[in-house]
Structure 1
Amino acid sequence: MTWIHFLLFAVFFSCTTGNDNSFSEESAVEVTLKPEVTYQEIHNFGASDAWSCQFVGNWPDEIKNRIADLLFSLEINEDGSPKGIGLSCWRFNIGAGSARQGNDSGIDDPWRRAESFLQDDDSYNWDKQSAQRWFLQAAEERGVETFIGFVNSPPVALTKNGKAHSDGGNSMNLTAENLPKFSEYLVEVIQNIQQNEGVLFDYLSPVNEPQWDWEGGQEGSPWKNSEIAQLCQILGNDLKNAGLSTQIEITEAGQLNHLYEAGNDAERGNQIREFFSPTSDNFVGDIPNMAHKIAGHSYFTTTNDEVLKEVRTKLRKEIEQVDPELEFSMSEFCILGDNDGFRGNGRDLGMETALFVANVIHADLTIANASAWHWWLAVSPYDYKDGLVYIDKNKTGGDIYESKLLWALGNYSRFVRPGATRISAEYPETSDLKISAFQNKNGELVTVVLNRGNSGKELKLNLPGSSKTGRIYETSEQNDLKYLSEFKIRDEIQIAPRSVTTLVWNQP
């Protein structure tokens, strides 16, 4: 070969191997599944109706139904691909009433103000939050199984300062005398929603990110651990006396480390031990209607793989030490902070955000043993990495924009169904892939494969005694949770570069 021929060959080889569709020449990554080795039960994957659904629920039927289908549908298109991502949990924001205060609310963005059923004269207006209630019904009609009512701030009619945000400090924006009224209000909301929408909240989350001072920007209130315990005592008995099965879910910690360490405030940290150790003054484990789980948000703990592993390992170990039966629910996440240069600013409909979030989901499920995983805004009007479906910021109508993140979450939510169990998936730690496996209650096996690299990979599944045929679904630059083909166990399966791939089949 002359040097000219050699140069041309080298250029050609460089171009082809750099192509996003190229596959690594390394030997196939072999994954051994062991359904007999089990971990946590997976209850659901979800998202919240804040803040946009208060307007989008009044948009033209065709558009809002399209959004509801994308979020909740379990139907299959003619090509075998899912119509939507089949969320199995929907979070309903029980608003505090800043919307009726307008500019006097201290919340500049009208989209972050919310209505409230409780009025200033202590009467109830059940016509409020009607657009959100539309989405509640849409979720129920499309098969969503779990519903959570969550509270950012007590109603302004009850707060200390008459606002839906705090004047500062680490204490609740509520007088102790109004704790029973707040509890009574929450019970009334649950009963009315059940009566009118036919939806009973499975869980009620009465406080949200109590570690922050919430001095403005959106509805919110700080809470000390002792105040949360006092509220739960009242609320648990009120739910029981009302004959409701709704369980209380706490504490929606603003960062996962607040669950196992003091963080920035000892009175608002160490929440696993504070609430679920019988030796704690704030123990709530024996309160009626108290869910035996702790909820936290993965914000600011996702800088890189090292941080992901460190934080979630500490979380899991704290639960094992305090109460091994206690569940952990990852109840809210979007991109916040600086993640080794990857930031929340700027809407991204592409794979970069989808891959980043899939990596967080994998860590939360496989290291922290999360039993549920919830995204923040199901529908976002913002130029930010906070939405599944994006919309024009228009209160009466507009266009919608699907994100790759929507479909990447669907690789989990559509196929890992409520009651599934995470099972062992053994593969080389040196592999660039990240793999998790689950078994649904109907015996179906699900394996989710994350490839953040620029080269495709070959994958082999090892499940002794199985010759079953399965189905492959892919989210990538080219595909939105698309059904690709059938496969057989021990086939070499091609995992595309920068993709999330789900393999589904029945156990023999």
Structure 2
Amino acid sequence: MWWMTKNHNPSGASDGSENIQSWNLEQHAVYMATVAKHFKDNWGVEFETVDPFNEPSANWWKADGTQEGCHVDVSTQAKIVGYLDTQLSNRGLSTKIAASDESYYDQAATTLKTIGSSALSKIDRINVHGYQYGSGDRAGVHTLATQAGKSLWNSEYGDGVASGENLAKYLFQDLRQLKPTAWEYWQVLDQGGWGLIDADNDAKTLGKSTQKYYVLAQFARHMRPGMKILDGGRDNVVAAYDASKSLLVIVAVNWDAAQYINFELSGFSGRPSSGATVSRWSTQIGSGDRYVQHLDTTISGTKFWSKFEKNMVQTFEVTGIKL
């Protein structure tokens, strides 16, 4: 809260340094736990997790900014996590702690390495944001989270490219290298290419869906909660498997000249017979097809293939698959 900061400015310190008052570290935890308890008692909403920080290692939270934020040193993060764990427990809440929602993968890795074993033991889930885009040690964050026995989320990703090109590039990287169990987009309604649907939240106006909306649909409408993510074998391919439905979902993108891409199924213990139909959907990044279903693809032996135009995303659903 603004009154917990050194300069009483919720946008940050003048130089982007740590701005929370040292005597308010526990008060910050008290405030968060009290709010969580209020939601449970008054509205029957019990949070699965709370995160006491938002991009705390960032140095761009400055007093002249237009967005609330506060730099918090890693050593201070550790203290707050300890206080928050106690305060949640004191209120009889089952709510766990997620942390630290760092902006970059590299910042998340540094925080995980230096926050200390005591604080880390009190964190239930690792949250990281995707604003390092094509850079950063995604695999390293995954390894650190796995070693610590924590689940891992990309709890915020956004970009200003309405075509969906960047979203596709970095979502493939996240699924293949970061391997999060949840992936969340910044804001559905926004302007300047940031929204999945173009909207001006200040003016309260709503425009059309962007091409990015349909690029994300190729993943989100088919790779559903509870499915197991599989290695697609190439950087431009991801796959998900639903054992209860014997369903394989493959999402692939082609960044090069128009070409046919083959998908080999011989590694599965069970698969549909030759001639079986594979449902597919296509979205053209930038402009063109938004989300079109096709029923023109069939299994031939142990494989199937499809033509991809340049900068096209396609999703395939194969039924009758056994791992």
TM-score, normalization by structure 2: 0.83
User: Which of 192, 206, 226 does residue 419 from structure 1 map onto?
Assistant: 226
The residue aligned with 1:453 is: 256
CA, structure 1 residues 393+207, in 2 after alignment: closer, same or farther (shift >3 Å)?
closer
The residue aligned with 1:298 is: 130
User: Which of 393, 404, 408 does residue 211 from structure 2 map onto?
Assistant: 404
User: Which of 81, 85, 106 does residue 232 from structure 1 map onto?
Assistant: 81
Q: Say whether the 8 Å CA contact 1:251–1:296 is kept in structure 2.
A: yes
CA, structure 1 residues 188+483, in 2 after alignment: closer, same or farther (shift >3 Å)?
farther
Paired amino acid for 2:149: E
- Residues in 1 aligned to 2:189 and 2:42: alpha-carbon distance in whole angstroms: 24
SS of the equivalent of 1:377 reads coil
Paired amino acid for 1:181: Q
The residue aligned with 1:85 is: none
Q: How does 1:322-337 map to 2 (within 5 A)?
A: 323=147, 325-335=149-159
1:243 and 2:48 correspond: no
Cα displacement (A) at 1:442: 3.0
1:439 and 2:241 correspond: yes
Q: Say whether the 8 Å CA contact 1:355–1:500 is kept in structure 2.
A: no
SS of the equivalent of 1:485 reads strand
Deviations 1:301-338 (A, max 9, x none): 42xxxx46xx3344445556xx2634332222223xxx
- Residues in 2 aligned to 1:324 and 1:193: alpha-carbon distance in whole angstroms: 30
CA, structure 1 residues 316+387, in 2 after alignment: closer, same or farther (shift >3 Å)?
same
Q: Say whether the 8 Å CA contact 1:187–1:238 is kept in structure 2.
A: yes
Cα displacement (A) at 1:248: 1.1
Deviations 1:109-157 (A, max 9, x none): xxxxxxxxxxxxxxxxxxxxxxxxxxxxxxxxxxxxxxxxxxxxxx223
User: Which of 299, 304, 318 does residue 491 from structure 1 map onto?
Assistant: 304
The residue aligned with 1:69 is: none
SS of the equivalent of 1:475 reads strand
- Residues in 2 aligned to 1:497 and 1:197: alpha-carbon distance in whole angstroms: 50
Identity among equivalent positions (%) equals 21
- Residues in 1 aligned to 2:194 and 2:168: alpha-carbon distance in whole angstroms: 14
Paired amino acid for 2:227: A
- Residues in 1 aligned to 2:52 and 2:244: alpha-carbon distance in whole angstroms: 34
Cα displacement (A) at 1:197: 5.1
SS of the equivalent of 2:188 reads strand
Number of residue pairs the alignment of both structures matches: 307
Q: Say whether the 8 Å CA contact 2:260–2:305 is kept in structure 1.
A: no
1:363 and 2:173 correspond: yes
The residue aligned with 1:63 is: none
CA, structure 1 residues 459+495, in 2 after alignment: closer, same or farther (shift >3 Å)?
farther
Cα displacement (A) at 1:484: 2.3
Paired amino acid for 1:391: A
Show structure 1 runs of 5+ residues with no match.
1-154, 261-269, 336-343, 428-432
Q: Say whether the 8 Å CA contact 2:126–2:145 is kept in structure 1.
A: no
CA, structure 1 residues 440+240, in 2 after alignment: closer, same or farther (shift >3 Å)?
farther
- Residues in 1 aligned to 2:281 and 2:35: alpha-carbon distance in whole angstroms: 40
The residue aligned with 1:18 is: none
Cα displacement (A) at 1:496: 3.5
1:504 and 2:317 correspond: yes
Deviations 1:133-191 (A, max 9, x none): xxxxxxxxxxxxxxxxxxxxxx2233332221222456543223323332222123223
Deviations 1:277-323 (A, max 9, x none): 63xxxx32332xx31x3222232342xxxx46xx3344445556xx2
Q: Which has the higher contact order (CA 8 A, sep 6+)?
A: 1
Q: Say whether the 8 Å CA contact 2:264–2:304 is kept in structure 1.
A: yes
Paired amino acid for 1:176: S
Q: How does 1:185-224 map to 2 (within 5 A)?
A: 185-195=31-41, 198-213=44-59, 214-215=61-62, 216-224=65-73
Deviations 1:361-401 (A, max 9, x none): 111111222222222222113x3x42222113544x32322
Q: Say whether the 8 Å CA contact 2:20–2:72 is kept in structure 1.
A: no
Paired amino acid for 2:151: E
Cα displacement (A) at 1:413: 1.9
The residue aligned with 2:291 is: 481
CA, structure 1 residues 329+375, in 2 after alignment: closer, same or farther (shift >3 Å)?
same
SS of the equivalent of 1:505 reads strand
The residue aligned with 1:312 is: 138
Query: Higher Cα Rg: structure 1 or 2?
Result: 1
Cα displacement (A) at 1:485: 2.3
- Residues in 1 aligned to 2:141 and 2:242: alpha-carbon distance in whole angstroms: 26
- Residues in 2 aligned to 1:372 and 1:405: alpha-carbon distance in whole angstroms: 19
The residue aligned with 2:112 is: 272
SS of the equivalent of 1:330 reads strand
Cα displacement (A) at 1:405: 1.1
SS of the equivalent of 1:248 reads strand
- Residues in 2 aligned to 1:334 and 1:193: alpha-carbon distance in whole angstroms: 28
CA, structure 1 residues 407+197, in 2 after alignment: closer, same or farther (shift >3 Å)?
farther
Q: Say whether the 8 Å CA contact 1:169–1:222 is kept in structure 2.
A: no
Paired amino acid for 2:112: I
- Comparing 368-377 with 251-260, which one deviates more in the overlay? 368-377
Show structure 2 runs of 5+ residues with no match.
none
- Residues in 1 aligned to 2:198 and 2:314: alpha-carbon distance in whole angstroms: 23
Q: Say whether the 8 Å CA contact 2:57–2:74 is kept in structure 1.
A: no
- Residues in 1 aligned to 2:44 and 2:307: alpha-carbon distance in whole angstroms: 45
Cα displacement (A) at 1:437: 0.9
The residue aligned with 1:184 is: 30
CA, structure 1 residues 197+403, in 2 after alignment: closer, same or farther (shift >3 Å)?
farther
